[in-house]
A and B are shown apart, each in its own frame.
Chain A
Amino acid sequence: EAGVVQSPRYKIIEKKQPVAFWCNPISGHNTLYWYLQNLGQGPELLIRYENEEAVDDSQLPKDRFSAERLKGVDSTLKIQPAELGDSAVYLCASSWGGSSYNEQFFGPGTRLTVL
Chain B
Amino acid sequence: AQKITQTQPGMFVQEKEAVTLDCTYDTSDQSYGLFWYKQPSSGEMIFLIYQGSYDEQNATEGRYSLNFQKARKSANLVISASQLGDSAMYFCAMREAVQGAQKLVFGQGTRLTINP
Q: Are A102 and B95 interface neighbours, CB within 8 A?
A: yes
Query: With A41-B108, A42-B91, A42-B108 given, is the CB distance from A109 to B103 under 8 Å?
Result: no
- Which residues in B have their C-beta under 8 angstroms from that of A55? 101
A66 at the interface (CB under 8 A from B): no
Q: Does B84 contact A (CB under 8 A)?
A: no
Asked whether, in the complex, the Cβ of B47 is within 8 Å of the Cβ of A104, the reply is yes
**Are A103 and B44 in touch, CB under 8 angstroms?**
no
What sequence of 0s and 1s flags, for each residue 41-72 of chain B, a beta carbon within 8 Å of any chain A beta carbon?
A: 01111110010100000000000000000000
Q: A56-B101, A102-B95, A108-B43 are in contact. List 19 more A-B contacts (CB 8 A).
A: A3-B44, A33-B104, A40-B108, A40-B109, A42-B93, A44-B106, A45-B103, A48-B101, A56-B103, A101-B33, A101-B35, A102-B33, A104-B104, A105-B47, A106-B37, A106-B45, A107-B44, A108-B44, A109-B43
Q: Is the CB of A42 within 8 A of B43?
A: no
Instruction: Name the residue among A43, A91, A93 with the largest chain B CB count within 10 angstroms.
Output: A43
Interface residues of B (CB under 8 A from A): 4, 33, 35, 37, 42-47, 50, 52, 91, 93, 95, 101-104, 106-109
Cβ contact within 8 Å between B103 and A111: no
B37, B47, B109: which contacts A41 (Cβ < 8 A)? B109
Q: How far is B103's CA from A95's CA once the two chains are assembled, in angstroms?
A: 12
